[in-house]
Structure 1
Amino acid sequence: MTSKMVIRQPQPVMDAQGSDEWGSGICDCCQDVPECCFAFWCCPCFACKTTKKYGQCTCLPLLDVFGLIPPITMSMRVSMRHRYGIKDTMCKDCLYATFCSSCSWCQMSREMRRRKIPIVLISAKTT
């Protein structure tokens, strides 16, 4: 007699959010001063930390060094807008990624904390 282990993948469960706007503005640094200081003084480290929390490759933001418009920062903003249903424009994403990179990463970090997606783990059963 053999036994099989049945495992179900965890499914993300998103809390219903009533807003289709960013939870904070691009320059709302006072909401989390230590985080914004970290992003200002060491943006690459902060971006890597935020990217890891988002579930992507940790070192992905380091590729922004090679472009005029930071492609990773912009794509993370677009991805986050799609994941959370935030209405905004690619033009703003491009401007924020190019001229306000550290503020943009702070805004994304605050949004992830605000709209935390709890993961429901389903226990494995032996059958």
Structure 2
Amino acid sequence: MEAQHLHGKPRAEGEWSTGFCDCFSDCGNCCITCWCPCITFGQVAEIVDQGSTTCGTAGALYTLISCITGCGCLYSCFYRGKMRAQYNIGGNDCGDCLKHFFCELCALTQQYRELKNRGYDMKLGWAGNAQLQQNQGVAMGAPVFQGGMTR
């Protein structure tokens, strides 16, 4: 099954769930993105790549590109296009690049909100969300105790 069907909420095709400038609707993420955009980008990239890229790896690469070129947006605008394609959201590559170049923070927070609104717990990452989806609806009993010391 594709991730969008696992976590997707009904949404009009071709639309983002929040506006581009709705940054302050999630003050926590807005602050994190303002001070350390590599964290928000890493979280978005891990979900968009369905776990093939970790948050840490994507965030580190974003930081490296930002330090070398001064434009982490060169990397992050690629993920906006990838995300639009996965969820059939309207737009184009030129618009993605312009949004990331002129307002990287708004673009990153919009992507973060979109994934969150589609049911992802961004703090869990891809593996945590997959595990959550697997356990959803399953009654969980008491934890199993493994006695003794193991290596």
Aligned residues: 113
Which amino acid letter does the alignment assign opposite residue 57 of structure 1? T
Structure 1 residue 97: deviation in Å?
Answer: 1.4
Distance 1:26 1:80 in 2: 15
Matched ranges for 1:1-127 at <5 A: 12=3, 14=5, 15=8, 16-54=10-48, 55=51, 56-58=53-55, 59-60=57-58, 61-65=62-66, 66-67=68-69, 68=71, 70-116=73-119, 119=130, 121=134
Name structure 1 gaps, 5 residues minimum: 1-9, 123-127
TM-score between the two structures when normalised by the length of structure 2: 0.62
2:15, 2:2 → 1: CA distance? 25
Secondary structure at the aligned position of 2:31 is classed as: helix
Q: What's the % identity of the aligned pairs?
A: 26
Partners of 1:76 and 1:106 lie apart in 2 by 13
Residues 99 and 64 from structure 1, CA distance in 2 versus in 1: closer, same or farther, beyond 3 angstroms? farther
Between Structure 1 and Structure 2, the one with more strand by share is 1
Corresponding residue SS for 1:112: helix
Shift of 1:96: 1.2
- Distance of aligned partners of 1:64 and 1:24 in 2 relative to their CA distance in 1, 3 Å threshold: farther
- Separation (CA, whole Å) in 1 of partners of 2:78 and 2:45: 11
CA shift digits 1:10-38 (9 cap, x unpaired): 65351343331111122102321111111
Is the contact made by 2:63 and 2:72 (CA closer than 8 Å) also made in structure 1?
no
Structure 1 residue 94 displacement after superposition: 0.5
Aligned to 1:22, what secondary structure does the other structure show?
coil
Residue 3 of structure 2 aligns with an amino acid whose one-letter code is P
Contact 1:77 1:108 in 2 (8 A): yes
> In the alignment, what sits opposite 1:7?
none
CA contact (8 A) 1:48 1:62 kept: no
Deviation for aligned residue 1:87: 0.7
Instruction: Considering fraction of residues, name the structure with more helix.
Output: 2
In structure 2, C-alpha distance between the alignment counterparts of 1:91 and 1:109, rounded to whole Å = 20
